[in-house]
Structure 1
Amino acid sequence: MSFSNLLMKSGVNGGLRSTQTAALGLLNVSSRQGHTLRGKPPGVARTLEQRLRDDNVTDPEIVARVNIGFPQLKPSRSAQLKLRLEHLKAQRASKELEKLARSNKLVIDLDKVQEAYVQTTGQHDLRLLADHYGIFEHLFGSAYFVPRVPLSIQYELDANLLSPVYNGNVIKPSEAIKAPLVSFDGQLDPITGKSAEGDSYWTLLLTNPDAHYTNPAAECLHWFISNIPNDKIGEGEVLAEYLPPFPPKGVGYQRMVFVLYKQVSRLDLSKHKLDAKDHISLEKRTFSTLDFYRQHQDELTPAGLAFYQSNWDESLTKFYHNVLQIKEPVYEYDFPKPYLADQKFFPLKQPFNLYMDKHRDIKQVNKEYLERKLAKTHPFNGPEPPLRFPSAHPIKDVPSWLATEIRKRRLGTGRVQDY
């Protein structure tokens, strides 16, 4: 027996092969296409998300969210399955539905579909959308609630046209000048979801968490009605008259949030009432939903929610001057100055004229371009007609940067096209 056969028989050679295979595997991990990986290989090293989560450790008891709304009493799973089975049996036993379906004449009532959606999962979806838009965070802090009472809010544009408030849609200030039409089921029990006996009182608030400019943590109160009997908005006590949205030019979209509270009884909220002279005072309309709820959390429970977005339009110019009696604010973004490295004596691979213009006053550069354009523009006949074939005319005996500049002028490209 040879020495190599003895090694194979004893398993030494197999051990060497496994060690060699492991070394090759390690080499493949640490080197890919000639590039050596630095640090731990993928799968072992922590991702950026894991590193940020480990660096920003939070106490779950402190950041835990609190549900301040009404609970929902759901029927048992067996009762739900029983109702669903009975519904399916009734649908399958209907010969008229089968006949319409086979003849492609079955029409689905979308109003009933919408009503079923609102009563089942619609309000849970509204809560998720409100979380997405940061409404609960900016109004109630770490608290939230599931809207149990559906709110129907519509702005009347004309006699035959209404603009509904629907899950953060955009409504222009010119469309929201008048107070909206609000309706809800005032006899609905938020817990059981059934009609209750006796009178109930409600409070409706409309706030804008983005409209206060001196205090970013505060809100602007746009509408406040308390002691609404059942669903009769017109019979409620108006504590703050309706004020249309007024997002200034340049700030983007602002959120307008309706919150409906259910009262335990008729309440005295006269301390929040605004006088008639304070109707257009924005400082007097400073409001905090969180502080208001903390003061009356034993007497009020949030039950309904609706919101939309609004941005600037031309109608707000007159609104600022005539209604609010202030100057119209306009916001512009202040761009930082571009970074310029120290000037070099001989820059490589850069156009000479463009490099020199970077270190000059931009107003002077714009003035030179404008004077150059006006020098070739006749006061009555207008500018000179462009060349029919600009690329066919040769450019000789000039530096390369100037040849490029002349070519751009002929073609109307580059910075020259702005003038």
Structure 2
Amino acid sequence: MSYRSMTLLRFCSPIVIQARHGHRMRGKAPDIAKSLKERLAPVILDEEVAKRNDIGFPYQKPPRSAEFNKRFDHLKKQRSDSSLEKAARTTKLQINLDDVKVDWFKTAGPFHIRKIAEHYGVYDDLFGKYAYFVPRVFLDIKFPLNEDTVYPVYNGNKVHPLQAKSVPEVSFEHKFALSYSQKPEENTLWTLILTNPDGHLTKENSEYVHWMVSNIPNNDISKGDQIVPYLQPIPPKGTGYHRYIFVLYKQDKKLDLSSMKVTDLKDLEKRTFSTFDFYKNHEDSITPSGLAFFQSKWDESVRDVFHKELNMKQPIFEYDFPKAYLNYQKQFPLKQPFNLYLDRYADPKDVNKRYLEERLAKTHPFEGPEKKLQFPNAHELKKNIPSWKKTEIRKERLGRGRINDAV
């Protein structure tokens, strides 16, 4: 019996089970990644041409001994002040953040601003990919909202167009010296430019200049020559965030920019500008010294600017997403929610229109939309409602349905 069993086992063929494992694409997509021919092609670059150049003022490195003595004296003074320790123990110690900001800009601040500007592509889009500068003059920019409130500009913070409607208040330290051993210049000339490299409507790789003041004596902008009057940010609807960049240039002599003067406030085309060309034409007389920028996207005030100030229709853009691959539509799709399945094959504009109509049908023309329920899932649903409709109602009450995305 045992011999027979062994024989059966000996002549039985093993069972082969086929298993299909998923494959995940590694690296970039084929339409984005370089081909083998492009990878093998030799890249010949001239080091002198490919090297990035600092077009700003050199770093003012203080003497090590003087900096050490200054910090040691400050530390000694702080330790000898018993009132500071008492205030710290009782959590009443207050630190002047303005002094902290001044100290930050004198040390690592300019290099931090340069890193942020490189991250947002400021230098590449303004001065080309082979030029940069480290800001040596700190720009303090604030948009006045009312008599008591201002909105500051830092380095990439978000500012709505309505908040930047008024002319900004700009201040900076005008006394400038190339090194610590030199005496600072008392009387200096400056040029301030606010430009948008992301929003030109007709020309590619062009900018709109929103404000330009040249020949500013010291830091009194009101006494400078206004070449281009101020225009609030106007990012078109559907284009996302735009960068609005302040660049401060130090002048070696007085500039004649009368050919760039804009007098017709309604002609947006005359605000066409190129920072690269402007600097190239005046590089012997100006040096970029200060930098600050903010980001802004469309709001209702932009429409009023286009209609009332620029006397033109408001441009509206829609991103043309690549069409997703969909399998052939089936007449009887099994295990598929029919409402979501049909929306998948319908025109997105028709779907959004239907959701918008459903939302407006529940909105009173004078009292506004219906009040939200305090406990949405606590309210009972009618028993004769189909299950898919119950799910839609629950999503709508919780603010998770597609109807809540309709604008």
- Could you state the TM-score of these two structures normalised by the residue count of structure 2? 0.72
Residue 208 of structure 1 aligns with an amino acid whose one-letter code is: N
Task: Name which of structure 1's ranges 328-337 and 175-184 shifts more when overlaid on structure 2.
Answer: 328-337
Partner AA of 1:296 in structure 2: H
Q: 1:207 to 1:129 in 2, by over 3 A?
A: same
Could you tell me whether the CA contact under 8 Å between 1:187 and 1:195 is conserved in 2?
no
1:162 positional shift: 0.8
- Shift in Å at residue 314 of structure 1? 1.0
Specify which of 231, 242, 255 is matched with residue 243 of structure 1: 231
Deviations 1:126-154 (A, max 9, x none): 11111111111100112111110111111
Is 1:330 equivalent to 2:310 in the alignment? no
Q: What is the match of residue 18 of structure 1?
A: none
RMSD: 3.9
Q: Is the 8 A contact 2:139 2:290 kept in 1?
A: yes
Aligned ranges for residues 91-102 of structure 1 at < 5 Å? 91-102=78-89
173, 177, 192: which is aligned to 2:161?
173
- Structure 1 residue 218 displacement after superposition: 0.6
| Cα deviations by residue, 1:304-361 (Å, 9 ceiling, x for unpaired) | 11111111111222211110000011112234444344567997x5659689958986
1:261 alignment counterpart: 249
Q: Please, which of 153, 157, 166 is the counterpart of residue 141 of structure 2?
A: 153
Displacement of 1:211 after TM fit?
Answer: 1.4
Deviation, 1:110, is: 2.1
Q: Is residue 2:75 matched to residue 1:88?
A: yes
- Match of 1:135, as an amino acid? V
Cα distance, 1:250–1:160 mapped onto 2, change above 3 Å: same
Matches within 5 A, 1:103-252: 104-141=91-128, 142-189=130-177, 191-192=179-180, 196-252=184-240
Q: 1:101, CA displacement in angstroms?
A: 4.1
* Per-residue CA distance 1:15-56 (angstroms, 9 max, x = gap): xxxxxxxxxxxxxxxxxxx999x9xxxxxxx988xx979939
Alpha-carbon spacing, 1:145–1:354, altered in 2? closer, same or farther (3 Å): same
Partners in 2 of 1:330 and 1:204 — Cα distance? 30
Q: Aligned partners of 2:383, 2:340: CA distance in 1, in Å?
A: 29
Give the alignment of 1:248-397 within 5 angstroms. Answer: 248-274=236-262, 276-277=263-264, 279-341=265-327, 388-389=382-383
* Uncovered stretches (5+) of structure 1, i.e. residues with no partner: 1-33, 39-45, 374-385, 392-405
- Secondary structure of the 2:156 match is coil
CA, structure 1 residues 191+79, in 2 after alignment: closer, same or farther (shift >3 Å)?
Answer: closer
Distance 1:359 1:35 in 2: 29
In the alignment, the residues of structure 2 paired with residue 130 and residue 408 of structure 1 have an alpha-carbon distance, to the nearest angstrom, of 50
Gaps (5+ residues) in structure 2?
1-18, 359-379
Query: CA-to-partner distance for each residue in 1:369-413, whole Å, 9 max, x for gaps?
Result: 99xx9xxxxxxxxxxxx964469xxxxxxxxxxxxxx54246547
SS at structure 2 position matched to 1:137: helix
Q: CA deviation at 1:191?
A: 4.4
Q: Which moved more, 1:144-153 or 1:61-70?
A: 61-70
Cα deviation, residue 113, structure 1 = 1.5
Q: What residue in structure 2 maps to residue 381 of structure 1?
A: none
User: Counterpart in 2 of 1:74?
Assistant: 61
Q: CA distance change for structure 1 residues 195 and 147 in 2, over 3 Å: closer, same or farther?
A: farther
Counterpart CA distance in 2 for 1:103 and 1:329 is 58
For 1:238, give the aligned amino acid: Q
- Structure 1 runs (4+) deviating above 6 angstroms are 51-54, 343-347, 352-356, 358-361, 413-419
- Deviation string 1:60-82 (CA, Å, 9 cap, x unpaired) is 72432111000023134344333
State the distance in 2 between where 1:163 and 1:308 align. 11
**Retained in 2: the 8 A contact 1:172–1:311?**
yes
Q: Number of residue pairs matched?
A: 343
Equivalent residues in 2 for 1:3-82, closer than 5 Å: 55=39, 59=45, 61=47, 62-82=49-69
Identical aligned residues as a percent: 43
CA distance in 2, matches of 1:213, 1:288: 14
1:408 pairs with one of 373, 388, 402: 388
Query: In structure 2, how many angstroms separate the alpha carbons of the residues matched to 1:273 and 1:326?
Result: 22
**Corresponding residue for 2:369?**
none
Residue 408 of structure 1 aligns to a residue whose secondary structure is helix
Larger radius of gyration: 1
Q: What is the CA–CA distance in structure 1 between the aligned matches of 2:87 and 2:332, rounded to whole Å?
A: 85
Higher helix proportion, which one?
1
